[in-house]
Amino acid sequence: MGERDLVGRAREVPLQRWPDGSLVAVNVVVNVEEGAEAAWPDGEGNDSWGEYALPIDPSIRDLGTEGHYEFGSRVGIWRLVRLVERFGVPVTFGVCARALERNPPFAAWLRDSDHDVLGHGYRWAEVTQMSEDEEREDLEHAMRVLPELVGRPVRGWYVRSFPSVRTRRLAAAHPDLSYDSDSVNDELPYWTDVDGAPWLVVPYSKVHNDTRYFLPPTYATPRHFTETLTGAAAFLLDEARHGAGARLMTVGLHPRWSGQAARAAAVRDFLAWVAGQPEVTLVHRQQVADWWTEHVPPGARPSSSTY
């Protein structure tokens, strides 16, 4: 990971439709990080991703930000679970293993569900600030804990914020992992090479993501998030109908943010919109990886040359 590719597949269309017949596949990723962030009780200081941006002296415990994360774990995750159950949609839960260890009721619910689980580290920490040994140990620790907690294999991996130059190599070296979602350089999956072997990348999105409530340009109201998501999905659908082929849209949510009542309304309204679109399907991430591996294997010719 480190060599740049500024061309990608250019105008090639690798897949006309998804195997289920849809034109647009939407993958909702719920990031479960609460309890895995840096916090004083763990001897790790304060985390900066709270509900507000007040300058807190690092030598002083930030109870406000800790409470914000606790809201996500205590309340927000269950609000999102209720929406998932209400609409009957498959969802990917990007899980930090320590967060799941500290929320046994949610861990039990996830274990009893058939939702997808994406590895998101043991701790929710910046891997670019770790040594290679530290990053490897965090990955391996998570991959020991997560399958035991959720009762099924974990095949995908992504880290907090952005990967290090070694992240993909470390993920590809783990025998249970088959893809990563650390890139934001495309919308569709693609194959790359890691140490001479093909490796699947299923890109993530920092744009169709509720972090935009806090990162400029911010959403002034949850309605703006709904409009962003429905506008993107509608555009992808129009693009596919005009020859661009199967499209993929990733939506990133966080219990501490989208689990707040007003913001959860944005998620509800987007799921309701998708439910009314017969050529748009909701999928989990492993399903996308499996479809791509089967229908667009490494070296496959595009289904049509250009659009």
Question: What CATH number is attached to the domain comprising 194?
Answer: 3.20.20.370
3: in domain: no
Share of the chain above pLDDT 90, in %: 86
Has residue 12 been placed in a domain? no
pLDDT at 3: 80
Each residue's pLDDT tens digit, 150-180: 999 999 999 999 999 999 999 999 999 999 9
* Burial profile 172-193: b = 16 or more Cβ within 10 angstroms, e = fewer: bebeebbbbbbbeeeebbbbbe
Q: Which residue has the tokens 């939407």?
A: 26
**How many whole angstroms separate alpha carbon 107 and alpha carbon 32?**
11
Instruction: Evaluate whether residue 263 is within a structural domain.
Output: yes
Q: Is 2 part of any domain?
A: no
Whole-angstrom distance, CA of residue 167 vs CA of residue 38:
20
Q: Is the pLDDT of residue 126 over 70?
A: yes
pTM (global) more than 0.85: yes
pLDDT score of 1? 67
Number of helices (H) and strands (E), helices first, in the chain? 10, 9
Q: Which of 112, 117, 33 is nearest to 77 (CA)?
A: 33
Pairwise CA distance, residues 17 & 279, whole Å = 10
Residue span of the structural domain in which 283 resides? 24-295
* Angle between helix 261-275 and 222-239 (nearest 10): 20
Q: pLDDT band at 306, cuts 50/70/90? A: low
pLDDT category of residue 71 using cuts at 50, 70 and 90: very high
* Cβ neighbours of 101 (radius 10 Å): 16
For residue 303, tell me if it sits in a domain: no
Which pLDDT belongs to residue 302? 65
- Smallest CA-to-CA distance from 203 within 33, 9, 17 is with 9
Tokens of 26: 């939407």
**b (16+ CB within 10 A) / e for 267-295:** bbbbbeebeebeebbbbbbbbbbbbbbee
- The total of structural domains in the chain comes to 1
- Let me know if residue 114 belongs to a domain: yes
In a domain, 83, yes or no: yes
Cα separation, 162 vs 233, in Å, equals 25
Residue 10 lies in a domain: no
Gap between the Cα atoms of 5 and 168, Å rounded: 15
What does pLDDT average to over the chain? Answer: 94
- Smallest Cα–Cα separation from 61: which of 85, 49, 44, 77? 44
Is the peptide bond prior to 217 cis by the omega test (within 30 degrees of 0)? yes
Cα separation values, 186 from 10, 127, 204, 206, 282, Å = 11, 22, 8, 12, 19
C-alpha 63/C-alpha 207 separation (Å) is 29
Poorest-pLDDT segment among 56-60, 93-97, 252-256: 56-60
Per cent of the chain over pLDDT 70 is: 97
